[in-house]
Chain A
Amino acid sequence: MRIASQPTYAEKVPINYLNAEHGLKSWLLTVDHKRIAILYLLSVTAFFLVGGLFALLIRLELLTPQGDLVRSDVYNRLFTMHGIVMIFFFLIPSIPAVLGNFIIPIMLGARDLAFPKLNLLSWYLYMIGGILTLYAVLAGGVGTGWTFYTPYSTVYSNSHVMVTAIGVFITGFSSILTGLNFIVTTHTMRAPGLTWSRMPLFMWSLYATSLIQVLGTPVLAIAILLVGIERLWGVGIFNPALGGDPVLFQHLFWFYSHPAVYIMVLPAFGVISELIQNFSKKRIFGYKFVAGASVAIAVYGFLVWGHHMFTTTQSVYAGMIFSFLSFFIAIPSAIKVFNWTATLYQGSISYQTPMLYAIGFIGLFVIGGLTGLYLATMGVDIHVHDTYFVVAHFHFIMVGGSVLAYLGGIHYWWPKISGKMYPDGWGRFSALVVFVGFNLTFLPQFILGYLGMPRRYHAYPEEFWVLNVFSTAGASILGVGYFLPLVYLIWSWFYGPEAPANPWQARGLEWQVPSPPPTTNFPAPPLVTQETYEYSLEEAEVV
């Protein structure tokens, strides 16, 4: 029994996934991907606030050259916890586990992910890992840097390395299982007619992300496990006093952690592809290239990890291989950027909140990505490695890029998720605040880095003062910019006007179901006869 869903179906239904069941238990034991997405949304936001609080304290400490706000040990724990919380507990799960979880099955025309229980298990693993890590924070924190470099982490640090390591280890499995679930879902749950070449670009990028999660994360798990074993039993694996090589740990760590940066940015690419198309009402320029670039990035991403180790004892020749390959990874990113820009050409662009984030993303990602080229250039990296230049590089991509894309995606799909509209004026205003605050925070850090200010410094020489003041000022503005959406989105959840099924006249199966969608998404599997981005067609004909 396959019917094309009628246009009337998109009208409001009295029973949706939010009000289908009530009570705490119906949330904590749910296997509905949409509810699990909401669980993730809440927890990810909480972790972002925690990580942001650490960032705020870091910036306050750096307001003056002397280390006068907190003790150096505390400062070290601040940036460590900031990095760990932001990366493992906020950014990696953000787009995939919140937006992906909610949207993927609907985009594919499925009732749920392939393994709904596994999906819930992922969330629990994530929470267990997160709570262990928060416990480590409360018990006094961990001060190894998010990179856990040995032998400091295994032999010298007297902070709560073990608990944190276990927390990250467990969260790793959450990430693996989410990725596995998405891949299987993409392969087996697509609606009839939804061929690979018709698939939305968001799907492509999440598919690529999931590949990295499945193939990379286990190596992080083993690296962390070895750190734990070495620390607990005092045996020699990486400890040079016992015959080990600390650099081997760095190999294992970066084998995961370099691809992990693409776990953080690929989903953002996917969101941006959706936003750019739907707000300029124009099919992407070069669909095949944009889709293929995602997979190419996922694969190449595994070949460049040694570029984090140019100043170690890594062999000159291995360094050259890694540097060489690092430049290749720039090409698929370049393809994406150029194609997005080309898509705008002769479009019909409207500037609602999500689109502002999308354009901001392109602008900032370009800078972040291009500064990656300095770092991949061996001769220059020798100078800027472990300075604020690197800090600026990755915040440009991760905050200016991924976080902006996440916010853009949240705003874009918010009507679908909540069934309510938010005030667009406030949305546009805070997007602007975020953009300004961001640049003020992180642009000065490039200069600081080239001047030679090392990262992870609790106190710094006076000549770096002025630029650090700019940076701290920017961070406060940025904080406000993040705070505003928090307020008006929560407000709109309760008081916002009802959202129509498709407030943006966007394309994609998720806009064919009511807002908020019913528990089973579709009354019957929809039949897809067109590629996703056919703006010229009347909505009713699309499905």
Chain B
Amino acid sequence: MTHVSPRRTYYLVFLALMVLTAVTTGVAYLDLGPFNTVVALAIAFLKAGLVVAFFMHVMHLTNLSKLFAVGALVWMVILIALTVSDYWTRQWGVPAQGW
């Protein structure tokens, strides 16, 4: 029911996380237009992925726990997507005088 990872893995993951932190801070000072946000989020997701995969041992979980983890993310996407479907379409194709 359990999997013990070698310490080395943890140290490597830690190193990767630190490097990514440095990168994300560094990149923030370059003006990439809208890509600043994209890069920042991409790195954040990468880091999150590392934590979940190695520190939280998601790979060695039962399918059920994986399902809950994924489910929570899906629900988060529902929350965001449908809310944003309102805010980002409020301007669409409304007649000239506004309504």
**A–B direct touch in complex (beta carbons closer than 8 A):** yes
Residues of A within 8 A of B (CB): 187, 215, 219, 247-248, 251, 255, 302-303, 305-306, 313-318, 321-322
Whether B75 contacts A306 by the Cβ 8 Å rule is no
CB of B28, distance to nearest CB on chain A (Å): 25
CB closest chain-A residue, reference B99: A316
Q: Which chain B residues lie closer than 8 Å to A215 at the CB level? A: 71-72, 75
> Do residues A255 and B79 form an inter-chain contact, with CB atoms below 8 A?
yes
B83 touches A251 (CB 8 A): yes
Q: CA–CA, A160 to B41, complex, Å?
A: 41
**Cβ contact within 8 Å between B85 and A321:** yes
Tell whether A314 pairs with B86 under 8 Å between CB atoms, given A215-B75, A302-B78: yes
A303 and B82 contact, CB distance less than 8 A: yes
Between A and B, 25 residue pairs with Cβ closer than 8 Å are: A215-B71, A215-B72, A215-B75, A219-B79, A247-B86, A248-B83, A255-B79, A255-B83, A302-B75, A302-B78, A303-B82, A305-B82, A306-B82, A313-B90, A314-B90, A315-B86, A315-B92, A316-B89, A317-B85, A318-B82, A318-B85, A318-B86, A318-B89, A321-B85, A322-B82
Nearest residue, chain A, Cβ from B91: A315
A-B pair number, CB within 8 angstroms = 40
Give CA–CA (A187, B64) in the complex, Å: 9
**When chains A and B are docked, how far (Å) is the Cα of A187 from the Cα of B67?**
13
Enumerate chain A residues within 8 angstroms of B85, measured Cβ to Cβ. Answer: 315, 317-318, 321
Chain B proximity of A169: nearest CB distance (Å): 19
Which residue in A219, A247, A313, A321 is a CB contact (below 8 Å) of B82? A321
A residues less than 8 Å from B94 (CB atoms): 316
Interface residues of B (CB under 8 A from A): 64, 71-72, 75, 78-79, 82-83, 85-87, 89-90, 92, 94
Chain B: minimal CB distance from A80 (Å)? 26
Give the distance in Å from the alpha carbon of A318 to the alpha carbon of B84 in the complex: 9
- Contacting residues, chain B, for A219 (C-beta < 8 A): 79
CA distance A65 to B54 in the complex (A): 67
For residue A303, which residues in chain B have a CB less than 8 angstroms away from its CB?
Answer: 78, 82
Whether B92 lies near A317 (C-beta < 8 A) is: yes
Instruction: Tell me the smallest distance from the CB of A507 to a CB of chain B, in Å.
Output: 28
Which B residues are in CB contact (< 8 Å) with A305?
82
Residue of B nearest to A188 (CB): B64
Residues in chain B near residue A187, CB distance under 8 A: 64
List the 5 closest A-B pairs by CB distance, nearest first: A318-B86, A315-B90, A317-B89, A315-B89, A318-B85
CA distance A314 to B75 in the complex (A): 21
CA distance A215 to B69 in the complex (A): 11
Instruction: Report the minimal beta-carbon distance from B68 to chain A, rounded to whole angstroms.
Output: 9
Question: When chains A and B are docked, how far (Å) is the Cα of A255 from the Cα of B86?
Answer: 13
Q: CA–CA, A466 to B72, complex, Å?
A: 50
CB proximity of A423 to chain B, nearest CB, Å: 46
Residues in B with CB closer than 8 Å to A255 are: 79, 83
Q: With A and B bound together, what is the CA distance between A248 and B83 in angstroms?
A: 8
Complex: how many Å from CA A303 to CA B90? 19
Chain A positions within 8 Å of B92 at CB level: 315-317
CB neighbours (8 Å) of A313 from chain B are 90
**What CA separation (Å) do A321 and B81 show in the bound complex?**
11
Residues of B close to A315: CB separation below 8 A: 85-87, 89-90, 92
Q: In the complex, A21 Cα to B71 Cα: how many Å?
A: 42
Chain B residue at smallest Cβ distance from A309: B86
Contacts of B79 in A (CB 8 A): 219, 255
Contacts of B72 in A (CB 8 A): 215
A215 to B79, CA, bound (A): 11
Measured between beta carbons, the chain B residues less than 8 angstroms from A306 are 82, 86
Min CB gap A513→B, angstroms = 28
Give the CA-CA distance A150 to B82 in the complex, in Å: 20
* Chain A residues, CB < 8 A from B71: 215
CA distance A505 to B72 in the complex (A): 42
What is the distance, in angstroms, from A311's C-beta to the closest C-beta of chain B? 12
Question: Taking the nearest CB of chain A, how far is it from the CB of B21, in angstroms?
Answer: 27
Across the two chains, which residue of chain A brings its CB closest to B85? A318
Q: Determine the chain B residues whose CB is within 8 A of the CB of A316 once the complex forms.
A: 89, 92, 94
A302–B75 Cα distance when bound, in Å, is: 8
**A211 CA to B45 CA, complexed, in Å:** 26
Asked, given contacts A187-B64, A215-B72, A315-B92, whether A251 binds B78 with beta carbons under 8 Å apart, the answer is no
20 other A-B residue contacts (CB within 8 Å) besides A187-B64, A215-B72, A247-B86: A215-B71, A215-B75, A219-B79, A248-B83, A255-B79, A302-B75, A302-B78, A303-B78, A306-B86, A314-B86, A315-B87, A315-B89, A315-B90, A315-B92, A316-B89, A318-B82, A318-B85, A318-B89, A321-B82, A321-B85
List of B residues within 8 angstroms of A251 by Cβ: 83, 86
Chain A residues with Cβ below 8 Å from B75 are 215, 302
Most buried by B among A303, A316, A318, A322: A318
C-alpha gap A306/B89 in the complex (Å): 14
